Amino acid sequence: MKAIVISSYGAPEVLHVTDLPDPVPAPGEVLIRVKAFGLNHAEAYMRAGAWGEVAAVPGIECAGLVEADPSGRLAPGTRVVAILGGMGRTRNGSYAELVTAPATNVAAVDSSLGWAELAAVPEVYATAWYGLFGNLGLRPGERVLVRGATSALGQAAVNLAVDHGANVLATTRNPAHAPLLKELGAEDVLIDDGNLAAQVNGGDRIVDAVFDLVGNNALRDSLATVRLRGRVCQLGFLGGFEPVSEFNPLTDLPTGVQLSFFGSAFVLGSPEFPLTAVPLDAIYAKVASGALPAGPTRIFRFDEIVEAHRVLEAGGALGKMAVRVD
């Protein structure tokens, strides 16, 4: 099979198309013929070596057809998506014509959307769904602040929250991106200068929950934006991986505010966080109807993977990008 491998850790140019033996599914796995895969910041981190030693073939999600399922649960030719389950991290991932994935991380999909459109949804929408409704317990009518909203995951969170009937404050560092977030349904867009608490608390808006993708360097500020007994969930590290210096719950964690973390790469597909809990078919139906604007902002060919990663790292996607394998 053709596969894209990390020849050495570094810039996008370390990604090369090569030939590898076809993978064989073990018990509890599904072999998938990949038709398209989404592009994620996690794959750029892995390629650069920021997460230590990872699998040779990157890719944490895909859409395709079942080639073989030793359990017999999924018939050959079934349309499926696969997410995480160690793909690209502890096992070869989806940047390939064929990939094996744990059966717990593979879901049949009932949708006629194109392959690139299918591949643009799974990772960001499953993560956003668990963050919003699992960790944060977001309810209709509440106000959620989505910090880092112009990222693909941030846009997914805005879309799901608006669809759920919540009020959304979206943030961006670039004022030029504000119209995009307003089009997605955000009630207002805040320019993130690192001190959102002052902007929120200086107005008359009460924030019930924070969906934080900026991460450690904004944590103290995010905690200060929510109301008494509000909730903060950290899901990303767009601001870098540097730990929170001298964090002290006594002074930095407001009394009554709940802080949680959701790391989809490590738990999605586990018994505690099953993929089956995510309403993927309902999400795809809303994408097909136009209720959720989740289509890929750009689609690349398999042999354009270096350029795709350059765009990903430059932050020029303004949404989810996908790669067609065939």
CATH of domain 2-120+268-324: 3.90.180.10
Name the CA radius of gyration of the chain, rounded: 19
Q: Are 65 and 80 in contact (CB under 8 A)?
A: yes
pTM, two decimals, is: 0.95
Q: CB neighbours of 94 closer than 8 A, spacing ≥ 6? A: 34, 37, 57, 59, 60, 61, 62, 82, 87, 88
- For residue 181, what is the DSSP state? H
Q: Per-residue pLDDT tens for 272-304? A: 999 999 999 999 999 999 999 998 999 999 999
Look up residue 255 and give its two tokens. 């009394």
Query: Which residues of the chain have a pLDDT value below 50?
Result: none
Domain ranges in the chain are 2-120+268-324, 124-262
Q: Per-residue pLDDT tens for 1-31? A: 999 999 999 999 999 999 999 999 999 999 9
Q: Region of 318 please: left (phi>0), alpha (psi -120 to 50) or beta.
A: left
Indicate the Cα dihedral angle 302, 112, 94, 73, nearest 10°: -150
> What is the per-residue pLDDT for 100?
98
Q: CB neighbours of 202 closer than 8 A, spacing ≥ 6? A: none
Look up residue 121 and give its two tokens. 């949804």
Looking up tokens 């505010």, which residue turns up? Answer: 257
The Cα–Cα gap between 146 and 157 comes to 7
* Main-chain phi, psi angles of 122, to 5 degrees: -55, -55
> What is the per-residue pLDDT for 204?
78
> What is the per-residue pLDDT for 199?
92
Distances (CA, A) of 40 to 10, 92, 120, 151, 254: 16, 16, 10, 10, 33
> What is the per-residue pLDDT for 201?
85
Looking up tokens 């870098």, which residue turns up? Answer: 240
238 SS3 class: coil
Q: Are 196 and 98 in contact (CB under 8 A)?
A: no
* Main-chain phi, psi angles of 101, to 5 degrees: -140, 150
Look up residue 43 and give its two tokens. 């794959």
Q: Are strands 226-234 and 207-212 parallel, antiparallel or unpaired?
A: parallel
CATH class of 124-262: alpha beta
> What is the per-residue pLDDT for 239?
80
Q: Region of 10 please: left (phi>0), alpha (psi -120 to 50) or beta.
A: left
The Cα–Cα gap between 56 and 39 comes to 16
Three-state SS string over 296-320 comes to CCEEEEHHHHHHHHHHHHHCCCCCC
Query: Is residue 210 within a helix (H) or strand (E), and if so which, with residue range?
Result: strand 207-212
Task: List the end-to-end C-alpha distance of the chain, in Å, as a whole number.
Answer: 12
